[in-house]
Structure 1
């Protein structure tokens, strides 16, 4: 293999690594949607305890997201991701083999801890490894893999639903992709920027040559010099810097965006699709588990479109278009529940409308929020703060996720809200999210990570020059 071919292979492996961990995250999100019904039967659980099966993982993810930035900075991006794959393997098997409910909850919590670290580290790893012109598409690849993993979770739920010990098989089979992911990750170097933060310039240079095969030696020298200058200008990567100028505005943006990504209800649909489809009259195993998988195929198509358009049309049009589609989708869902008037079995057309609404929600989220969460998490901060910033965003995201996970079944089954009130609430949150993105989201298409740093230093405007940190503050800003 020639040097150029080897370099291309290394660049491809970066995307494969992101995709691999996305499959794990997606499978865990949906397989509990199927497994929880069988667990609830075996352990005689009501709505509150059943919701806790979903929520306890997210609580673990919150802790993982909080420590993920520190962990990634301490041991490196690659070692952090290898640790995630190993931990996921162990805890998936522990959950499947749990004889008691308390050990199952503990295993699910620890599994969530590893997933929480992964959702922080992966966007940082890809953002620091991918060439600028392909960074957006490679970050969106993670969402593609996440949806693929969600589909696998539903499919295995359907295939295993009639088997003895069904929920144990559903949880335990997740160890297989985790082992394969670990083997892929072992072949990768760490990121050039992390090597530079540790003063390991030779390794940084080798890594850049591997992931940017078309770059000349002079271009690599220039990028190394730029990273060196940036790192020397920074006072250090401390968490407190996120909450001081000039990055307070960036922190506010990513934290609020992260919260909106989940509070608009996507995981109410992913985690509780079987329950929603049952409420709409689809009672058999195919309707309960395979229809949710079919819905996610539309999400997969939306992500494919996003991959090929995000670096062409930009971040803002993609994000606003996706949220706008979600708003429309929730209007359709409300219409379906109003048409059914509490009886989907009698009003079959209402079930069709409801199915269309779920498809639209999934398309809108996957095209917009689902794709852009990883992009903004990876792009918003300079090197020494990037892992901390990603951690702050994903922590906010997961707090909202925990709220949705613990309340969705209660809201759906309540006489006060029901399906109409639940999806109306998610629709209102989507409108607020649209207005927030319209006001605060920057367009980072084609910008170097170092240039994006200057945007925040310039008060949320692109400066006329970006030669030095803070340059252009006295200049007329360009939009």
Structure 2
């Protein structure tokens, strides 16, 4: 572990005392850039590699879905790997694996080798999307945790935006190997700052390394009493280990409700159609009536720029107005955009103003997703469960997300060929409506709440206990920890 400066428990925070916390949040988020780059790069590369490898719609779907299958396996295992190795070491391993597999996929001599490399790349991505949000959330003070965790989505969207402009620049030559392989360099570089940072206080407590947890807490959040916070975390973990820990605990009271919530939210996040746009945007723009590589590669770049703005906007709102407000605004706008897209594709012919109405609706749909679902999926994945179950809970949510992602990646090309764009986007609209109903009934408002405090919501049957009861429970936990030390 890198050397951490010693801080007196009574010393006032230095002017640069929050630097480590900010650096952890930034570095963890930057891992999302390489994930976003790969997600976007395939949309451009697929146009040209399909021509070189003579792929039909089913084979095109497989190029995307095989990565998602690998991601599902990675997400399932990601929680246990992050618990065993630590959040930071797991991300270092992921960055190295990503660099290797993305480079090998760029040199693939045939589609079979490409699919194999993309499967292994998917495993690395699946582990990453569990470990990175955990790393950020567990190292960030409650008052800014929503925004800090949502920076991961900003990084993902930034990666997609970069790759769309790269695809546009390489489209004239059809250089799909460069489109796929360029992200190997930043993936290797991101491992360097990760090697210099500590792991999270909660992981150190999980491993019985309380002194290191205290030291890191003083660095990332000097406003709290590091010793008391560490004791409270340790007490909560001991309570879970006293009979409520393990995978089975996720499917029985008091956390069965939390499990239903994270599984359904993860599934709705993808099944409403965002990656149909991300993976197949050039084909969708063709169906809208746009022609030529210039338009069909430049327009997705403009869409992602708007999405990047929307995601940054979410950072300033999520900790001020709350998680539910952001989700309702995002999903509601998605629903409206999908209704417009259904109407546009229902026209007998697409030309003139109708094509630009469709483009605007697609832009709003993508921006609204990244504002709502895209930003909040990482926040809720890292908040919904206690320390002992948090990594497994994040794995469960993101696995559900990836299962829906697989269905979209594999079947969207065939679906749009067989039933048409009108009915396809109408189906997405119905699913978005169901998502709004679900959020209204199930999503808790966790703004400003400590990670340990959030567990009282699930223990109280999906309702927040009174402030006095929450405070009494926290005081009792700290007191028990102190008596245990005595």
Give 2:330's aligned residue.
322
Partner of 2:317: 309
The correspondence for 1:241, drawn from 228, 234, 249, is 249
1:12 aligns with 2:22: yes
Which of the numbers 391, 394, 403 marks the counterpart of 2:395?
391
8 Å contact from structure 1 (residues 39, 167) kept in 2: yes
Select 2:441's aligned residue among 435, 439, 442.
Answer: 439
Is the 2:171–2:297 Cα contact (8 Å) retained in structure 1?
Answer: no
Q: CA deviation at 1:470?
A: 13
C-alpha distance in structure 1 between counterparts of 2:474 and 2:201, whole Å: 20
Choose from 410, 413, 432 the match for 1:409.
413
Whole-angstrom CA distance in 2 between matches of 1:116 and 1:132: 26
1:21, distance to aligned residue in structure 2 (A): 1.0
* Conserved? CA contact 2:29–2:132, under 8 Å: no
How many residues are matched?
461
**CA apart distance, 1:5:** 4.7
Structure 1 residue 7: deviation in Å? 3.0
Q: 1:277 aligned to 270, 281, 285, which one?
A: 285
Preserved CA contact (<8 Å) 1:326 1:365: yes
Query: Is 1:335 aligned to residue 339 of structure 2?
Result: no
Give the C-alpha shift of residue 163 in structure 1. 3.0
Deviations 1:190-216 (A, max 9, x none): 000000011111110111111114x25
CA distance in 2, matches of 1:180, 1:55: 27
Of 62, 69, 72, which residue of structure 1 is paired with 2:82?
A: 72
Q: Quick check: 1:457–1:469 contact (8 Å CA) kept in 2?
A: no
Instruction: Kindly indicate whether residue 72 of structure 2 is the aligned counterpart of residue 62 of structure 1.
Output: yes
How far apart are 1:468 and its partner, in Å? Answer: 2.8
Match of 1:114 in 2: 124
Measured after TM superposition, the shift of residue 104 of structure 1 is 0.8
Question: CA contact under 8 A between 1:337 and 1:350: conserved in structure 2?
Answer: no
Give the whole-Å Cα distance in 1 for the aligned partners of 2:196 and 2:340: 47
Offset of residue 100 of structure 1: 2.2
TM-score by length of 2: 0.92
Aligned partner (choices 356, 361, 364) of residue 360 of structure 1: 364
Deviates more, 1:402-411 or 1:250-259: 402-411
Contact 1:35/1:170, CA 8 A, preserved across alignment: yes
Asked if 2 retains the 8 angstrom alpha-carbon contact of 1:458 and 1:470, the reply is: no
Tell me the CA shift for residue 433 of structure 1. 0.3
Given that 2:75 and 2:126 are in contact with CA atoms closer than 8 Å, whether structure 1 keeps it comes out as: yes
1:223 aligns to 2:232 (yes or no): no
1:454/1:470 contact within 8 Å kept: no
Instruction: Tell me, in whole angstroms, the C-alpha distance in 1 between the residues paired with 2:291 and 2:183.
Output: 26
User: How far is the alpha carbon of 1:9 from its aligned partner?
Assistant: 2.0
Question: Aligned equivalents of 1:5 and 1:193: distance in 2?
Answer: 25
Q: Classify the secondary structure of the residue corresponding to 2:101.
A: helix
Tell me, yes or no, if structure 1 residue 254 matches structure 2 residue 256.
no
Unpaired segments of 5 or more residues in structure 2?
8-12, 477-486
How far the C-alpha of 1:18 sits from its partner, in A, is 2.4
**Cα deviations by residue, 1:262-319 (Å, 9 ceiling, x for unpaired):** 0000000111111101111222222111110101111111111110011010011110
The residue number in structure 1 matching 2:302 is: 294
**Is the 8 Å Cα contact of residues 7 and 211 (structure 1) preserved in structure 2?**
yes
**Structure 1 residues 8-38: Cα deviation after superposition (integer angstroms, max 9, x where no partner):** 2211111212221110111111100000111
| C-alpha separation in 2, matches of 1:13 and 1:42 | 43
- Which runs of 5 or more structure 1 residues have no equivalent in the other structure? 472-479
Secondary structure of 2:446's partner? coil
Quote the Cα distance in structure 2 between the aligned partners of 1:75 and 1:6: 29
TM-aligned CA deviation for residue 60 of structure 1: 0.5
| Structure-2 separation of matches of 1:74 and 1:153 | 33
Alpha-carbon separation, structure 1, partners of 2:177 and 2:269: 31
Q: In structure 2, what is the equivalent of residue 375 of structure 1? A: 379
Deviation per CA, 1:197-241: give whole Å up to 9, x if none.
11111110111111114x25xx11221121121122122741121
In 2: Cα distance, 1:244 partner to 1:189 partner: 34
Aligned equivalents of 1:180, 1:306: Cα separation in 2: 28
Against the structure 1 CA distance between its residues 252 and 470, is the aligned structure 2 distance closer, same or farther, given a 3 Å change threshold?
A: farther
Matched, 1:211 2:211: no
Find the aligned partners of 2:416 and 2:29 in 1 and give their Cα distance: 33
Cα distance between partner residues in 1 of 2:157 and 2:360: 18
Other structure's SS at 2:172 match: coil
- CA-atom RMSD in angstroms: 1.6
| Distance in 2 separating the partners of 1:470 and 1:353 | 57
User: Separation in 1 of the partners of 2:192 and 2:434?
Assistant: 43
TM-score (norm 1): 0.94
Instruction: Find the counterpart in structure 2 of residue 477 from structure 1.
Output: none
